[in-house]
Copies of this chain bind each other. A is one copy, B any other.
């Protein structure tokens, strides 16, 4: 196993074993759907973070809300941890079984429960992935815009309050979840929200669960907003003399209120990686990859406005992706940038930051981070949902070089502290997990975190729901 980063040593928490009667009860109910095989456990004890594999003691493949409720009821009775698992694409150690317990695999809960095209809503089981959803609703003329890099499950996306490239126009999971079915820590099934677009009825439990990273309950069904496929879509790339120029163009686009659908920054390192991985020939210079949604005339107008702004900052003429296929190829390349970049340094691991700041502070946030990265000499690349003030600087580090690992962790810490000074957040979209627990306190303050903890204690007094994550018990 690779040496973990200095800060990526697992917290020392007391393991909580599954008592024999509980394991027997699980086997009695779930048969082969309850596995303790080493390979299965290992697969469920890792994510895309740099932490060492930390397997659960058992994995149960659930096929219904009732299945999940049965597992949680047993876990509650025996005070055993429960960790919901979608596709394993989280980035901050969310899925690691730091106190053992049962991984509740939701990947077989992959049914689209109902599509209400006339209401622009859909209800899915938590294991449905974002790509599957869009494939299955294609003939309704609607789509679901939230697209984190991975083909994540919608349960995982709700749990981490995910966003992605379309968030600048369509919002994040915070804005796009209408309601939930949740198995609470007591094993009860509750429903939150309605299919109405808005409501002033009671506490906003939906948004309490969205982003709670599995620490308050297991989401099993999710009702989402959908959007009509725009009449016209056009995508373009624009190269700039510097990253600063690309970022300043973005700031202007947002301040003017241009309803741009996607506004992504790629630095030359990222472009080099995607060129190689996706067989593209993009110029290896700072670039914005943009998309416009609307009517034919509206899209043209937005593009003209943005092109004029870009020119002021030295941006070159737009290169248009003229066909849907070209567009898909560009965006697929963007989405694969993470894996593309990993391949540029064989054997490396990746540490990615995820800060998000008010839009006027974005240039400072990115420029200073780049200066530090350049000075370190460690390979890195940048992609960013810059329209949201959010960017990722990802280091490719040799996990067997403790000095390099220590440097990266220090730089990552500096980037987070800078974002907080600029009145931003330590996580735009990846969540807290294990890795950012300390930063959450820096950001929210001890008082606010204490309040989160009170809620957790109240709803999960035995600390069985994904324990050890987000904040200390």
Contacts and interface: CB of A to CB of B under 8 A. Distances in A.
Interface of A: 116, 118-121, 160-163, 167, 171-172, 174-175, 184, 188-192, 194-205, 207-208, 210-212, 227-228, 230, 251, 254-257, 259, 294-295, 297-298, 301, 354, 356-361, 388-390, 423-432, 436, 439-440, 443-445, 447-449, 451-452, 454-455, 457-459, 470-471
Given A257-B227, A432-B202, A389 B197 contact: yes
B163 A198 contact: yes
A211 B208 CA distance: 12
Contact of A459 (B194, B197, B423, B455): B455
Contacts of A425: 194, 196, 198-201
Contacts of A459: 451, 454-455
Contacts of A390: 196-198
8 contacts: A184-B451, A194-B425, A196-B389, A196-B425, A197-B390, A198-B388, A202-B449, A203-B455
Given A200-B431, A444-B202, A359 B160 contact: no
B426 A204 contact: no
Nearest to A298: B298
A295 B306 CA distance: 14
Given A116-B360, A360-B116, A454-B458, A198 B174 contact: yes
A302 B359 CA distance: 29
Contacts of A455: 203, 208, 455, 458-459
A452 B202 contact: yes
A200 B121 contact: no
A424 B195 contact: yes
A449 B192 CA distance: 10
A146 to B, nearest CB: 11
A223 to B, nearest CB: 10
A449 B190 CA distance: 9
A181 to B, nearest CB: 11
Nearest to A203: B452
B196 A357 contact: yes
A308 to B, nearest CB: 13
Given A162-B200, A196-B423, A458-B454, A255 B360 contact: no
Leading 9 A-B pairs by shortest Cβ distance: A458-B458, A228-B257, A118-B360, A199-B425, A119-B358, A207-B207, A190-B447, A196-B424, A161-B200
A423 B195 contact: yes
B118 A255 contact: yes
Nearest to A361: B119
A257 B226 CA distance: 10
Contacts of A194: 423-425, 443
Nearest to A92: B200
A230 to B, nearest CB: 8
Nearest to A171: B175
A466 to B, nearest CB: 13
Contact of A429 (B200, B294, B430, B432): B200
A359 B427 contact: no
Given A171-B175, A301-B295, A445-B191, A356 B202 contact: no
B202 A440 contact: yes
A207 to B, nearest CB: 4
Contacts of A167: 198
Contacts of A227: 257
